[in-house]
């Protein structure tokens, strides 16, 4: 690292108005890393010729090998513009859907973003996700339409068609933005007149057109500057005519607004795209050196003889030399960033209500300091993720320095106010509210593959903090004020659905592995690590690529021991299709019997309950203290849905809903006919004495107090049993989904016996309730429910047939197939069972030589219609198939597989050494 540049960076950090913290956002493979390479080359960190090939910010070997970014990395660049130097802190974030949490972490420390779109693939699933994430974080964004070269070289579009195509992409993005804008969710828009700046308008200079591969980019401002001099126009006025239906009349030398026709070309086509197309034609398509030389003279570009000599054999090298001198990508993009994206001072004032809403009321001093990005005020820092320091990272020690920089994790953080200095105590405020005092020993400037130790980090900067690896769990707030409220936690979109169990290859490495797992858990915001009841160590991740990265991190950085990884453990659910059949069970001491029936919950209610999980936890959760408005709003919505619920379930829920489950907030329900519905009272009602003493005439009673040995709350024991059944259904011990249990009858006999050989009575009631619920599930024709991924990919006509064959083989369902206008590209949307998804991406990639990169996101739960216990019963079936069980029963094979994995009994016949057995029989 150049020490002169380094000291300039350190100096610029104390001028927040000159800082821009930017993240590059896009769908996978749209060119983020190639663009960041070009921007990095502007600071002579890498050679411009290697930009796009080196992938400098993909420092991990697996990122280089797979050509995908898996981790956000940051680098500081200097950009001189009009005699002022600006500090650009650039973050390259991953585009793969498995790493959405990395994008969220990167956005929290930034103030602006560059939204990159591959103009051939257009607006994709992840483009929407990252745009939404940036809105939710209150981040301003500029648009970069990348890979324009593909419109010329691959699709052979005319400039007119290209203009229409680009216009349609800009309109599509703006349509999405307007949805966000008018929803105003997650953003506080104070100034209505500011509306225009949220939309992408090439004429305002917040849209760039680029080819990161060919190292060029432009915004309309640059073209307007060039032509304004030649044509004698005001550059600003000319810029506003370069986009839209404006035409230049060379005779009258005037710009007129006219509808598009063959004779009239829009100014964007005439002045911008035509010259660009001509250069590509001279170099890449028709290779015409004479025409090229005359064009270069006209636009006043000098290209070395050496670069020109590649025209026939390596035309792309000549093209890159020409285009990077004509429209250098770094200059266009960096000046767009400086002009259009806010400095920390402006951004923090806007974002504070989104990222730290509690400050205003609870800590006004810090609120003022954060809003103004005051470097002299009290300190507040947000740790957005803990980054593992892998061996590819180099720590630049100062000459003669003796500090031990043996870190495993550093805190990737943003200083929002004050100045963080080394060796100062600071308070770590955990999300739960606990406060820990600790000493900041090490601070680093993040420079891609290099960490540069620094002594301080002022407000508005991004910094790596050492010595926090045992104090901060995933994310956290640091402050010099101990009672400072925490920043808003980073929202998580991706849920960890793929689980594997891990164990060390050598058992004596168990301790190292467990410690390594703890570090891994800290280092990744979207991972879950826990120990299952049977002692297995489970890692739950977002997908296959994520899993590979985590295992690599575990083996190489955290545990540093080899581990074996099980087959992915996919989650299933269990449900029912019949209704009303009852099952009775009795406690082992024969004193309490209960009859339970079960009903399937209709899909629309189930979807509502799925959506409202968090709200339900706040209203009905064990320690919940809900606000009355929240509760009544939920109940009103729920009751509206019940109007379309079939009888008798509707009445049962309305009159006697006793609990949701599991943990009082899931998507199963318990009806207890002795109790009034929890939907009825907005306040929890105290039970009256009379109510609690009522029983039936037969001497049986549902009442605990009448039974001498029953000194516990019987209804709560029912809920506990119901919860146990919810968590582990009868088919293969997977959670239940969409089952409503009805306690039809409870009989308790009085007994004088005080000693019960079967253990505490409460435990017996709980277990019997669990078994009664499970029995009711079995009585009502149970089914397996499997998770489904939504998978979107783009492909050409050439590959589509083969891809569909793979999807069908994997039980996928194609739900949408749209031909992109002007191309032979199909955008396909399919649903794919999670259990079939392993190896799916690799198979598609191999089949299409890497052209297809499917994105899998969890979509919904879907019931497998087949009955797991189906046997031939009717006369006709028996005649046709005999009494043999069905060989290919999918749910049955899933049940057996899961039961085998959990060590539960299966009804499979095990034949070991069949030949040997036959021989033995013969010999006898």
For residue 532, CA distances in Å to 499, 518, 540 come to: 11, 15, 12
Name 409's Cβ contacts closer than 8 Å, sequence gap at least 6: 386, 387, 388, 389, 468, 469, 519, 522, 523
Least distance from C-beta 303 to ligand GTP, angstroms?
20
Name 30's Cβ contacts closer than 8 Å, sequence gap at least 6: 95, 116, 117, 118, 121, 124, 127, 146, 147
Q: Are strands 563-565 and 498-504 parallel, antiparallel or unpaired?
A: antiparallel
If the CB atoms of residues 412 and 583 are measured against ligand GTP, the closer one turns out to be 412
If the CB atoms of residues 98 and 136 are measured against ligand GTP, the closer one turns out to be 98
The residue from 40, 68, 144, 500 that contacts ligand GTP (CB under 6 A) is 68
- Cα angle 320, 324, 325 (rounded to 5 degrees) comes to 120
Q: Does the protein bind ligand GTP through residue 34 (CB under 6 A)?
A: yes
Least distance from C-beta 764 to ligand GTP, angstroms?
57
Q: Are strands 450-454 and 394-395 parallel, antiparallel or unpaired?
A: parallel
For residues 916 and 630, give the distance between their C-alpha atoms in angstroms, rounded to a whole number. Answer: 69
Q: Does the protein bind ligand GTP through residue 49 (CB under 6 A)?
A: no
For residue 690, CA distances in Å to 443, 681, 687, 693, 746 come to: 67, 19, 8, 5, 19
Q: Does the protein bind ligand GTP through residue 737 (CB under 6 A)?
A: no
The residue from 19, 28, 383, 446 that contacts ligand GTP (CB under 6 A) is 28
Instruction: With beta carbons less than 8 A apart as the criterion, state whether 834 and 860 touch.
Output: no
Least distance from C-beta 275 to ligand GTP, angstroms?
18
In this structure, what DSSP letter does residue 277 have?
H
If the CB atoms of residues 67 and 435 are measured against ligand GTP, the closer one turns out to be 67
Largest CA distance in the chain: 112
428 beta partners: 436, 478
If you count DSSP H runs as helices and E runs as strands, how many of each does the chain have, helices first? 32, 35
In this structure, what DSSP letter does residue 48 have?
G
Instruction: With beta carbons less than 8 A apart as the criterion, state whether 93 and 69 touch.
Output: yes
If the CB atoms of residues 116 and 669 are measured against ligand GTP, the closer one turns out to be 116
If the CB atoms of residues 68 and 784 are measured against ligand GTP, the closer one turns out to be 68
Question: Which residues within the stretch 652-711 sit at the binding site for ligand GTP (CB under 6 A)?
Answer: none
Taken as a whole, the chain contains a residue count of: 924
Least distance from C-beta 71 to ligand GTP, angstroms?
10
If the CB atoms of residues 28 and 282 are measured against ligand GTP, the closer one turns out to be 28
Q: Identify the H or E element spanning 5.
A: helix 3-12
Tokens representing residue 219 in the block? 């915004």
If the CB atoms of residues 106 and 779 are measured against ligand GTP, the closer one turns out to be 106
- Cα angle 483, 489, 493 (rounded to 5 degrees) comes to 175
The residue from 150, 291, 552, 676 that contacts ligand GTP (CB under 6 A) is 150
If the CB atoms of residues 281 and 836 are measured against ligand GTP, the closer one turns out to be 281
Least distance from C-beta 167 to ligand GTP, angstroms?
19
Least distance from C-beta 221 to ligand GTP, angstroms?
21
* Closest-CA residue to 737 (of 892, 860, 901, 582): 860
The residue from 10, 22, 26, 451 that contacts ligand GTP (CB under 6 A) is 26
Name the residue with tokens 């925490």. Answer: 486
Tokens representing residue 175 in the block? 């349509």
Q: Does the protein bind ligand GTP through residue 94 (CB under 6 A)?
A: yes
For residues 279 and 288, give the distance between their C-alpha atoms in angstroms, rounded to a whole number. Answer: 10
Cis check for the bond before 648: say yes or no (omega within 30 of 0). Answer: yes
Instruction: With beta carbons less than 8 A apart as the criterion, state whether 669 and 601 touch.
Output: yes
If the CB atoms of residues 33 and 89 are measured against ligand GTP, the closer one turns out to be 33
Q: Does the protein bind ligand GTP through residue 384 (CB under 6 A)?
A: no
The residue from 23, 72, 100, 146 that contacts ligand GTP (CB under 6 A) is 146
- Of the candidate spans 67-75, 558-566, 642-650, 694-702, the one that interacts with ligand GTP by CB under 6 A turns out to be 67-75
Closest residue to ligand GTP in the complex (CB): 95
Q: Does the protein bind ligand GTP through residue 350 (CB under 6 A)?
A: no
Tokens representing residue 351 in the block? 């974002």
The residue from 13, 20, 32, 537 that contacts ligand GTP (CB under 6 A) is 32
If the CB atoms of residues 169 and 356 are measured against ligand GTP, the closer one turns out to be 169
The residue from 10, 12, 13, 30 that contacts ligand GTP (CB under 6 A) is 30
The residue from 16, 31, 202, 448 that contacts ligand GTP (CB under 6 A) is 31
Instruction: With beta carbons less than 8 A apart as the criterion, state whether 119 and 169 touch.
Output: yes
Least distance from C-beta 896 to ligand GTP, angstroms?
39
Rounded to the nearest 5°, which phi and psi values hold at 426? -145, 155
* Closest-CA residue to 418 (of 364, 459, 381): 459
- Of the candidate spans 30-38, 230-238, 272-280, 588-596, the one that interacts with ligand GTP by CB under 6 A turns out to be 30-38
Q: Are strands 394-395 and 569-570 parallel, antiparallel or unpaired?
A: unpaired
- Of the candidate spans 102-110, 142-150, 758-766, 784-792, the one that interacts with ligand GTP by CB under 6 A turns out to be 142-150
If the CB atoms of residues 29 and 723 are measured against ligand GTP, the closer one turns out to be 29
For residues 867 and 578, give the distance between their C-alpha atoms in angstroms, rounded to a whole number. Answer: 12
If the CB atoms of residues 118 and 222 are measured against ligand GTP, the closer one turns out to be 118
The residue from 21, 23, 69, 488 that contacts ligand GTP (CB under 6 A) is 69
Least distance from C-beta 845 to ligand GTP, angstroms?
13
- Of the candidate spans 32-40, 493-501, 617-625, 891-899, the one that interacts with ligand GTP by CB under 6 A turns out to be 32-40
Q: How many residues bind ligand GTP (CB under 6 A)?
A: 22
Q: How much of the chain is helix, strand and coil, in % rounded to 5?
A: 40, 25, 35
- Of the candidate spans 24-32, 417-425, 561-569, 820-828, the one that interacts with ligand GTP by CB under 6 A turns out to be 24-32
For residue 461, CA distances in Å to 375, 416, 455, 773 come to: 10, 8, 13, 57
The residue from 98, 102, 111, 149 that contacts ligand GTP (CB under 6 A) is 149
Contact string 162-191 vs ligand GTP (x = CB under 6 A): ------------------------------
Q: Does the protein bind ligand GTP through residue 29 (CB under 6 A)?
A: yes
Least distance from C-beta 321 to ligand GTP, angstroms?
16
Decide: helix, strand or coil at residue 570. Answer: strand
For residues 101 and 122, give the distance between their C-alpha atoms in angstroms, rounded to a whole number. Answer: 23
* Closest-CA residue to 19 (of 102, 105, 109): 109
Cis check for the bond before 662: say yes or no (omega within 30 of 0). Answer: yes
If the CB atoms of residues 462 and 545 are measured against ligand GTP, the closer one turns out to be 545
If the CB atoms of residues 150 and 560 are measured against ligand GTP, the closer one turns out to be 150
Least distance from C-beta 836 to ligand GTP, angstroms?
24
If the CB atoms of residues 33 and 417 are measured against ligand GTP, the closer one turns out to be 33
Question: Which residues within the stretch 96-115 sit at the binding site for ligand GTP (CB under 6 A)?
Answer: 96
Contact string 198-237 vs ligand GTP (x = CB under 6 A): -------------xxx------------------------
Q: Does the protein bind ligand GTP through residue 52 (CB under 6 A)?
A: yes
- Of the candidate spans 143-151, 400-408, 469-477, 759-767, the one that interacts with ligand GTP by CB under 6 A turns out to be 143-151
Q: Are strands 424-429 and 419-421 parallel, antiparallel or unpaired?
A: unpaired
Q: Which residues bind ligand GTP (CB under 6 A)?
A: 26, 28-34, 52, 67-69, 94-96, 146-147, 149-150, 211-213
């Amino acid at each position: 690292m150049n020490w002169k540049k380094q000291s300039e960076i350190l100096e610029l950090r104390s001028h927040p108005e000159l800082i821009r913290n930017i993240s590059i956002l896009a769908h996978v493979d749209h060119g983020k890393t190639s663009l960041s390479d070009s921007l990095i080359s502007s600071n002579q960190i890498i050679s411009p010729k290697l930009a796009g090939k080196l992938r400098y910010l993909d420092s991990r070997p697996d990122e280089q090998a797979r050509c995908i970014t898996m981790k956000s990395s940051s680098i500081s660049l200097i950009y001189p513009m009009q005699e002022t130097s600006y500090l650009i802190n650039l973050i390259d974030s991953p585009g793969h859907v498995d790493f959405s949490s990395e994008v969220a972490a990167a956005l929290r420390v930034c103030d602006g973003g560059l939204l990159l779109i591959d103009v051939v693939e257009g607006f994709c699933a992840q483009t929407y996700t990252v745009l939404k994430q940036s809105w939710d974080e209150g981040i301003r964004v500029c648009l970069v339409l990348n890979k324009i070269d593909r419109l010329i070289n691959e699709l052979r579009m005319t400039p007119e068609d290209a203009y229409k195509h680009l216009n349609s992409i800009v309109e599509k993005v703006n349509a999405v933005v307007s949805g966000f804008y008018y929803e105003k969710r997650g953003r506080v828009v104070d100034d209505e007149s500011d509306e225009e700046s949220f939309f992408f308008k090439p004429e305002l200079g917040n849209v760039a057109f680029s080819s990161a591969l060919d190292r060029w980019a432009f915004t309309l401002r640059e073209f307007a500057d060039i032509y304004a001099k030649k044509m004698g126009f005001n550059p600003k006025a000319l810029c506003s005519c370069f986009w839209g239906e404006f035409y230049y009349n060379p005779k009258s030398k005037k710009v007129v607004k006219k509808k598009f026709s063959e004779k009239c070309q829009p100014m964007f086509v005439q002045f911008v795209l035509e010259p660009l197309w001509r250069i590509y034609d001279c170099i890449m398509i028709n290779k015409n050196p004479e025409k090229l030389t005359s064009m270069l003279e006209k636009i006043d570009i000098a290209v070395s003889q050496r670069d020109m000599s590649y025209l026939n054999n390596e035309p792309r090298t000549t093209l890159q030399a020409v285009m990077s001198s004509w429209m250098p990508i770094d200059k266009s993009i960096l000046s767009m960033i400086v002009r259009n994206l806010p400095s920390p001072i402006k951004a923090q004032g806007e974002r504070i209500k989104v990222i730290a809403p509690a400050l205003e009321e609870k800590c006004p001093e810090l609120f003022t300091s954060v809003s103004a990005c005051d470097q002299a005020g009290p300190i507040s820092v947000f740790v957005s993720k803990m980054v593992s320091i892998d061996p590819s990272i180099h720590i630049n020690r100062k000459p003669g320095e003796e500090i031990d920089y043996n870190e495993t994790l550093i805190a990737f953080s943003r200083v929002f106010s004050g100045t963080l200095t080394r060796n100062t105590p600071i308070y770590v405020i955990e999300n739960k509210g606990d406060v820990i005092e600790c000493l900041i020993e090490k601070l680093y400037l993040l420079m891609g593959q290099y960490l540069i130790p620094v002594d301080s980090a002022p407000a508005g900067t991004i910094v790596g903090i050492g010595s926090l690896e045992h104090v901060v769990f995933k994310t956290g707030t640091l402050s010099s004020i101990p009672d400072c409220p925490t920043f808003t936690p980073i929202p998580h979109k991706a849920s960890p659905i793929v689980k594997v169990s891990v164990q060390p290859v050598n058992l004596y490495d168990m301790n190292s592995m467990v410690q390594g797992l703890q570090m891994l858990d800290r280092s990744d915001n979207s991972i879950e690590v826990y120990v299952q009841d049977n002692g297995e160590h489970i890692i739950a991740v977002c997908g296959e690529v994520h899993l590979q990265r985590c295992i690599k991190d575990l083996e190489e950085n955290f545990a540093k021991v080899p581990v074996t990884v099980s087959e992915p453990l996919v989650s299933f659910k269990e449900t029912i299709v019949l209704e009303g059949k009852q099952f009775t069970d009795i406690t082992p001491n024969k004193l309490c019997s209960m009859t339970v029936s079960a009903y399937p919950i209709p899909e629309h209610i189930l979807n509502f309950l799925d959506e409202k999980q968090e709200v339900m936890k706040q209203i009905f959760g064990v320690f919940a203290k809900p606000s009355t408005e929240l509760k009544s709003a939920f109940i009103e919505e729920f009751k509206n849905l019940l109007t379309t619920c079939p009888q008798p379930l509707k009445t049962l829920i309305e009159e006697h809903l006793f609990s949701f489950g599991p943990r009082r907030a899931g998507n199963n329900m318990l009806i207890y006919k002795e109790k009034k519905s929890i939907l009825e009272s907005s306040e929890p009602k105290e039970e009256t004495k009379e109510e609690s003493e009522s029983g039936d005439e037969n001497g049986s009673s549902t009442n605990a107090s009448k039974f001498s040995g029953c000194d516990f709350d019987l209804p709560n024991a029912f809920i506990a049993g119901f919860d146990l059944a919810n968590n582990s259904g009868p088919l293969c011990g997977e959670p239940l989904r969409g089952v409503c249990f009805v306690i039809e009858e409870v009989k308790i006999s009085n007994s004088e016996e005080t000693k019960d050989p079967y253990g505490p009575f409460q435990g017996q009631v709980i277990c019997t309730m669990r078994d009664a619920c499970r029995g009711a599930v079995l009585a009502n024709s149970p089914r397996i429910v499997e998770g489904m991924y939504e998978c979107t990919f783009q492909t050409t006509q050439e590959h589509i047939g083969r891809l569909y064959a793979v999807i069908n083989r994997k039980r996928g369902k194609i739900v949408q197939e749209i031909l992109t206008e002007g191309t032979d590209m199909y955008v396909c949307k399919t649903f794919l069972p999670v259990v079939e998804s392993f190896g799916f991406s690799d198979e598609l990639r191999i089949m299409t030589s890497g052209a297809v990169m499917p994105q899998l996101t969890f979509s919904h739960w879907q019931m497998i219609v087949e009955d797991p216990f189906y046997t031939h019963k009717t006369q006709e079936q028996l005649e046709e198939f005999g009494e043999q069980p069905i060989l290919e029963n999918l749910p049955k094979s899933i049940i057996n597989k899961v039961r085998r994995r959990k060590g539960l009994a299966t009804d499979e016949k095990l034949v070991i050494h069949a030949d040997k057995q036959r021989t033995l029989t013969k010999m006898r």
